[in-house]
Structure 1
Amino acid sequence: MDLFRGLRLAFAAAAFFGLASAAKGEEQARPRGVVELFTSQGCNSCPKADAYLGELARSGDVVALAYHVDYWDYLGWRDTMATADNTGRQSEYARALGERSVYTPQAVVNGRVHMNGASRGKVEKALGSLKDAGKGLTVDLSLSEGVESVIIEAGAAPGTARKANLLLVFFDPVTPVEIKRGENAGKTVTYWNAVSGIQSVGMWSGQEIRVEIPASELKKRGAAGCAVLLQSLDEDGNPGAIIGAAILDTPQG
């Protein structure tokens, strides 16, 4: 266990300082896009996608989030990071995208399209083609940590104003897990940006806004990092297009 703890601290520090270097200067460039991976420790086709998501997370120009789902737990290994809310978010995406079923590893890019999360070419193509088509991240969004609060600032809409939901997504930046049973028994897999909770913190209506969240909220959640997504909702409240995103890592001490 001491080895895993050391690995986790080392990876978290590397991720933090890498992102901090990229963020130097008065303004931080918009990410290329958002990749949300639905994965499971009990899925034998997921480690390849998990490794790729780790690369995206370390790149610093993609908001990469891993949602561990619980519907593969019956195969013999209970995913240590799965939550019912993560499974619920994937089901909501399925309804929004007109799909009848869910699967792992599934990557959803910018809330608009989905594909196998291990298909690097398809994910990269989606990031590029969505941006070229004006369906990338079009609204400036920043997430910063003050003395007593976490500050979210969203810019104005570049075109016609539309409403979107501001979501705080809490995650653990890096976690090595030794899997002892199930389809991945005997493997130690390092998971990046595993989501532990999502919280709506307000609505955006196309105008500049600034929202402050008590820093104690992160401590209460026990999260080492968080991201903010500016995401539209469909008529049924299902997640839609993501038009802004930013990420903040807080290294564990």
Structure 2
Amino acid sequence: MPALKTFRLRLIGSLFLLAALPAAAEETAPQTTQVKTEADGLEVTQPKGVVELFTSQGCASCPPADAALKHLIDDGSIVALSYHVDYWNYLGWADTLASKENTARQYAYAKMFGRNGVYTPQAVLNGRDQVNGANLSGIKGRLIALSGADAGMKVPISAERKDDEIDITIGEGDGKANVVIVYFNRQKVVDVEKGENSGKKMSYWHAVRDIQTIGMWDGTSARFVLPASVLDQEKDSGCAILLQQMKDAETPGAIVGAATLMAAP
């Protein structure tokens, strides 16, 4: 067993299922909102929320969560990302999409939530809450609750490609936050040859391949310009722009704004 402190969701799944909201809340879809800042006239349709799924090709409990994430992506109004972690590689299959950075992000969230370890599949919502990643109705219900508690997407972000540049505009709001760019592949199909999912052909969506902090936001409207080449390094890729507050230098906190942008076809 590795030194990392991890837990199998299937052993304690009932504990995490308690996080689901009452059925009345779960059956209602989260709402999108229009936000306009008077200073710069930025008006965008805010996403319903941000869902960060921590998953693994070597985890037998994860395929239902991967399918749930695809459902959220198809919804079109949720920023949904799949972070493949590497701590189940010892079971016999090295996850082809996993990275130490993805694992480190999950452990940073565990610290923020006051948890002693990590598990898969875990869905982190708006950087504020977490549920079983396979509990689709629970995810939707928690996003509704967060939005209703003024813990949704508050700051408008627009991202568009202009010739050889990516133009990111962030509106006004309260507080400070990091501007985080999460690069992902739209879809990856993997033949899993060993481990708990041996023999299965798996489709993964919005699998994260890189995470970069490109700057700070201080509550005033801001603009960031990146070369479009950073998005075009891989075919069929995209990026999410996350405006994320920090608990400290290494611990992520609430996500208060988000947007996505796909690479040129």
Partner secondary structure for residue 206 of structure 1: coil
2:150 to 122, 128, 134: 134
Range with bigger deviation, 223-232 or 44-53: 223-232
1:179 to 186, 189, 192: 192
Displacement of 1:151 in angstroms is 1.0
Query: Which runs of no fewer than 5 residues in structure 1 stay unpaired?
Result: 1-25
Cα displacement string for residues 177-208 of structure 1 (whole angstroms, at most 9, x for unaligned residues): 11111100111111010000011111001110
Range with bigger deviation, 34-43 or 236-245: 236-245
CA distance in 1, matches of 2:232, 2:139: 33
Partner secondary structure for residue 59 of structure 2: coil
CA distance in 2, matches of 1:221, 1:175: 12
Amino acid at match of 2:86: D
Query: Is residue 65–residue 133 contact of structure 2 (8 Å, CA) maintained in 1?
Result: yes
Partner secondary structure for residue 108 of structure 1: strand
Q: 2:231 aligned with 1:231, yes or no?
A: no
Superposition pairs for residues 1-253 of structure 1, below 5 Å?
A: 28-157=44-173, 161-220=174-233, 224-250=237-263
CA distance in 2, matches of 1:121, 1:55: 11
Amino acid at match of 1:145: R
Displacement of 1:83 in angstroms is 0.4
Query: Which runs of no fewer than 5 residues in structure 2 stay unpaired?
Result: 1-41
TM-score normalised by the chain length of structure 1:
0.85
Cα displacement string for residues 145-181 of structure 1 (whole angstroms, at most 9, x for unaligned residues): 1111111110001xxx311000010000111111111
Partner secondary structure for residue 219 of structure 1: coil
Percent identical: 47
Displacement of 1:236 in angstroms is 4.1
CA distance in 1, matches of 2:203, 2:119: 21
CA distance in 2, matches of 1:168, 1:221: 15
CA distance in 2, matches of 1:231, 1:102: 21
Amino acid at match of 2:138: K
Alpha-carbon RMSD: 1.5
Change (3 A) 1:38 1:171: same
2:31 corresponding residue in structure 1:
none
TM-score normalised by the chain length of structure 2:
0.81
CA distance in 1, matches of 2:194, 2:264: 30
Moved over 4 A (4+): 220-223
Displacement of 1:114 in angstroms is 0.5
Change (3 A) 1:29 1:215: same
Amino acid at match of 2:147: K
- Greater per-residue strand proportion: 2
Change (3 A) 1:213 1:251: closer
Partner secondary structure for residue 64 of structure 1: strand
Change (3 A) 1:176 1:211: same
Cα displacement string for residues 207-226 of structure 1 (whole angstroms, at most 9, x for unaligned residues): 10010011122234777111
Number of corresponding residues = 224
